[in-house]
A and B are shown apart, each in its own frame.
Chain A
Amino acid sequence: MRFDVAIVGAGVVGCAIARELTRYRLHVALIDRECEVGLGTSKANSGIIHGGHRAHEGSYKGATEWRGNQLWDELAQDLPFGYSRIGDLTVAFDDGDIEHLHMLLDQGRRRGVSGLELWEPERLQREEPNLSHDVKQALHAPTSGVVNPYEACFALAENAVRNGLTLLLEHTVSAIERRDDGFTVTTDRGVLDARFVVNAAGVHGDAVARMVGAEEAGLRFRKGEEYLLDKRLVGFVTRVVFPCPSPTSKGILVIPTYDGTLMVGPTATWSEATDLTTSAEGARAVFEGAQRLAPGISEGDCIAEFAGVRAVAADEDFAIGTTRVPGFVNVIGIQSPGLTAAPAIALDVVELLQGEGLGLEHDDGFVPGIDAPIRFAQLDAEEQARVVRGDPRFGRIACRCEIVTEGEVLHAIERGARTMDGIKFRTRAGMGRCQGGFCAWRCMRLLAETLDVEVSDVTKRGGASWITLPRLEVEHA
């Protein structure tokens, strides 16, 4: 198969670029080594749409943060994913911090970020009574929001596939060769040709660039640990809360996620590209930092933890652009605010490809949306009754902590979930306080039955992440 564009890496940036390209009459391939989209950096981050005032001026980050921010509303209208503009607060504890607030305020105003406002302690305590009473002043940015980044990836990819994208999961790219009329991309499951290649390979960005002799970004890897708290704390804090950064740390945030779970983190430590471990020191730093902002937060409320790794370019900025290899575009070093910037980056990359010679002809058949999945728990009683009458599978609870029905799990499988994580990140089954104790068997059985495989073939997230051995009768034979 010959493609016009092959995108290596199906994180949020790769998915956004892929979807943007399917607006045109093009054959596009999106390639990822994992068994689901968005399983790398895109899954494990703070899930924040930054307000637009935060990234430094004069950087690619600064140029895309506010543009990206504004594009998310349209994305969220077209596609179903958890997204809410809840606003953020940067809080100051001393005069140095207050200076920082003013710097952010000026920076935001210069960019045209609307609604920025300084709040005095009285206002702050009225709006967010559970924040520390030691806060001297806060900067409120109503433009900021939260998003479920994995849901955004699933929706972008599903929509792109609907518009003709070829999605090649569990394909690991091992070589890219430049030829006269394009590239030969070798994967562990076959070879494909493409006229243009986009390198959106996240932590593998430099390795992919090296395959074809393009510029590398001097990537290093920064790990962030995040901790999720019990739903009991819903409403405890209603906006994303940032401390002012210190010379040594960007600080620990308190993040009310779209689903109402409070998340605290991230740490920021140099690590290996594949190091997704959490640590006792990380937990200590996170809870100390979070308690400084909101003293009522307790380590005892933790129900889950995870770590994500961001690829950091040598100059700390995004490394986006054409390379010395014609037709090969780098989109690497995408760290914070990469999620915010992703829709803007996608537009920029389309433009870069056009500059490299890619012809763009609008595809009139492009459909911007996909059907929203049913979220049973969010329906009112009458709607729930109607849904169950239509399909009794929605009357069977799969996950009791998050009230997810078997119908939702089956729909997720129909829409591409192949693993337990794929189900979890599409439906929330297994995300609650019992962490899968109740629903895991149900989801395993539904996956095996629907995909017509053995339960022992079901994995947590592909690869060697098996959950059980073969049936006892087989084991004993």
Chain B
Amino acid sequence: MPDLQPWQLERRYDVVVVGGGPAGLAAAVGAREQGAERVLIVDRESEPGGILQQCIHHGFGLHHFKEELTGPAYAQRYLERVLEHDVDIVTDAYVLDVDPTRRVSLLSGRHGRTEVDAGAVVLAMGARERTREAIRIPGTRPAGVMTAGFAQKLVNMAGYLPGRRVAILGSGDIGLIMARRLMLEGAEVVGVFELMPHANGLTRNVVQCLHDFDIPLHLSTTVVRIHGHDRVDKVSVAPVDEALRPRMAEAWEVPCDTLLVSIGLIPDNELARALGVRLDPVTTGPVVTSTMETSRDGVFACGNTVHIHDLVDWVSQESQLAGGGAGAFASGRRSSADNVRLVPGRNVRSCVPHTITTDREHTVFLRVTKSLAPCSLRLGEVYERPLRYVVPGEMVTLKVRPRFLQGFHGGNLHVDVVPREEAAA
């Protein structure tokens, strides 16, 4: 694996990328392509690739490589591109701090506690999983309660099964995919419990991971109590009412030795927070411009650090843009300033980036608050496009072309998604 020898680490880089997952790898390529001479990736694992290395299932690369790859294959392909671009990589290394002058404090066994000055910084730390504690499930605190991602690392990389009888809370894609993985490795998945009235993951995962293995999916149901002193021995589950409150009188017990928790991801933003970067209270990631620059000059951000994606291909695309912005910044080039502020409007939860320009094409990622089909997406009064459907679990990708915004000269632009009949009226 690529890892610099201590004497190879420069004191100054045009661009330093924090994180070597899919976002960081793409950002490094983007930076090189936009003129950055010396680019450094700092990764905390022993090899780059991030969470892709444990996502051994298919579903990666259809947009980017035009073929469906597993996570490790996608990571390897991307890493090859990075190495072709002559990028420095330090692994088993941790960024302790980035200061406002973009001095990056590094820690690694090989390089020690050291500092590197960066012309521009790209934050690509990814996300962390929400835990049992984040939703405060009552009961005991035995071994055997773990996030789905941790179980995924245990099974797919370390080669250990976390238990024999597994209940899963949350029907996000990681939880669904782990249900299948555990069944194929010989464990029994006794059920997936989902608080909402609909599955959170993709339909194809419900079919291929649950239906194929006769794993029951209990919608509008949640885990209300964990039992067991040393190790989990059962969980209590209960249906919820319309306000998502458990109906305790109808609770029942599910014997199991493991509870996987798959209840979503949160952008990992400790560095951004410490740096005083402005954060979006909805995404909890940085507020970014059309080149993915944060509120701090020369500090860019991309990938799940900014907002939670559901396709790695979009992470790569967004991160290449961020890296490009960082490369241009470090080379002293700046594109025209953003003059449009995107404001999440009706049924829209978030828009990234937060600002764009009227003179270039931009890819805008939206999250909606509820399912609508068919529906219409509107940009203020100036543009409207029909959509077959939107669901909260799937990001909406919109290419905003200059001609869409003809007659709009800047300022706040509301982004709405409305039911089709309303749009027609």
How large, as a class, is the contact surface on chain B? 35 or more
Q: Mark A392-423, 1 if CB is under 8 A from B, else 0.
A: 11111100110100000000000000001000
Any B CB within 8 A of the CB of A270: no
Nearest to B92 among chain A residues (CB) is A396
Task: Provide the residues of chain B in CB contact with A397, threshold 8 Å.
Answer: 44, 94, 107
Nearest to B114 among chain A residues (CB) is A385
Q: Are A392 and B105 in contact (CB under 8 A)?
A: no
Q: How far is the CA of A473 from the CA of B146 in the complex (A)?
A: 22
Nearest to A407 among chain B residues (CB) is B109
Q: How far is the CA of A384 from the CA of B112 in the complex (A)?
A: 9
Task: Provide the residues of chain B in CB contact with A385, threshold 8 Å.
Answer: 112-114
Q: What are the 8 closest A-B residue pairs judged by CB atoms, nearest first?
A: A392-B109, A395-B109, A460-B143, A468-B160, A464-B230, A385-B113, A465-B230, A465-B143
Q: Are B113 and A455 in contact (CB under 8 A)?
A: no
CB distance from A259 to the nearest CB of B (A): 16
Q: Are A434 and B112 in contact (CB under 8 A)?
A: no
Q: Are B109 and A283 in contact (CB under 8 A)?
A: no
Q: How far is the CA of A459 from the CA of B131 in the complex (A)?
A: 20
Q: How far is the CA of A305 from the CA of B143 in the complex (A)?
A: 15
Question: What are 30 inter-chain pairs, A to B, with CB distance below 8 A?
Answer: A277-B225, A278-B141, A282-B138, A302-B134, A302-B136, A304-B133, A306-B141, A381-B105, A381-B113, A394-B109, A395-B109, A397-B94, A401-B270, A437-B129, A437-B149, A460-B230, A461-B143, A461-B230, A462-B230, A463-B230, A465-B142, A465-B143, A465-B231, A466-B143, A466-B231, A467-B144, A469-B160, A470-B160, A472-B160, A472-B185
CB distance from B409 to the nearest CB of A (A): 40
From B161-169, B193-201, B391-399, the one touching the partner chain is B161-169
Q: How far is the CA of A468 from the CA of B113 in the complex (A)?
A: 34
Nearest to A225 among chain B residues (CB) is B138
Any A CB within 8 A of the CB of B96: yes
Q: Are B138 and A280 in contact (CB under 8 A)?
A: yes
Q: Are A468 and B154 in contact (CB under 8 A)?
A: yes
Given A441-B154, A465-B231, A469-B160, A276:B114 Cβ within 8 A: no
> For chain B, what secondary structure do more than half of its interface residues adopt (helix, strand, loop), or is it mixed?
mixed
Q: Are A435 and B162 in contact (CB under 8 A)?
A: no
Any B CB within 8 A of the CB of A433: yes
Nearest to B224 among chain A residues (CB) is A280
Q: How far is the CA of A307 from the CA of B270 in the complex (A)?
A: 29
CB distance from A204 to the nearest CB of B (A): 15
Any A CB within 8 A of the CB of B211: no
B:124-170 near A, CB below 8 Å: 128-129, 131-134, 136, 138-144, 146-147, 149-150, 153-155, 158-164
A:271-330 near B, CB below 8 Å: 274, 276-280, 282-283, 299, 302-306
Q: How far is the CA of A243 from the CA of B44 in the complex (A)?
A: 45
Any B CB within 8 A of the CB of A59: no
Any B CB within 8 A of the CB of A375: no
Beyond contacts A395-B109, A437-B149, A456-B160: 14 other A-B pairs, Cβ-Cβ < 8 A, are A277-B140, A302-B133, A304-B133, A387-B113, A393-B109, A396-B108, A434-B131, A435-B132, A441-B150, A455-B158, A462-B230, A464-B230, A464-B231, A466-B143
Q: Are A473 and B230 in contact (CB under 8 A)?
A: no
Task: Provide the residues of chain A in CB contact with B141, threshold 8 Å.
Answer: 276, 278, 306
A:354-410 near B, CB below 8 Å: 381, 384-385, 387-389, 392-397, 400-401, 403
Q: How far is the CA of A395 from the CA of B96 in the complex (A)?
A: 11
Q: Mark A315-348, 1 if CB is under 8 A from B, else 0.
A: 0000000000000000000000000000000000
Q: Mark A212-232, 1 if CB is under 8 A from B, else 0.
A: 000000000000000000001
Q: How far is the CA of A75 from the CA of B29 in the complex (A)?
A: 56
Task: Provide the residues of chain B in CB contact with A392, threshold 8 Å.
Answer: 109-110, 112
Nearest to B135 among chain A residues (CB) is A302
Q: How far is the CA of A228 from the CA of B43 in the complex (A)?
A: 30
Any B CB within 8 A of the CB of A475: yes
Task: Provide the residues of chain B in CB contact with A456, threshold 8 Å.
Answer: 160
B:224-278 near A, CB below 8 Å: 224-225, 229-231, 270, 273
CB distance from B287 to the nearest CB of A (A): 18
Any B CB within 8 A of the CB of A476: yes
Nearest to A454 among chain B residues (CB) is B160
Q: How far is the CA of A472 from the CA of B129 in the complex (A)?
A: 25
Task: Provide the residues of chain B in CB contact with A280, threshold 8 Å.
Answer: 138, 224
Q: How far is the CA of A462 from the CA of B163 in the complex (A)?
A: 17
Task: Provide the residues of chain B in CB contact with A277, threshold 8 Å.
Answer: 138-140, 225
CB distance from A296 to the nearest CB of B (A): 16
Given A388-B113, A403-B96, A471-B159, A305:B105 Cβ within 8 A: no
Q: How far is the CA of A245 from the CA of B129 in the complex (A)?
A: 39
Q: Are B229 and A469 in contact (CB under 8 A)?
A: no
| Most A-side CB within 10 Å, residue of B110, B128, B147, B186 | B128
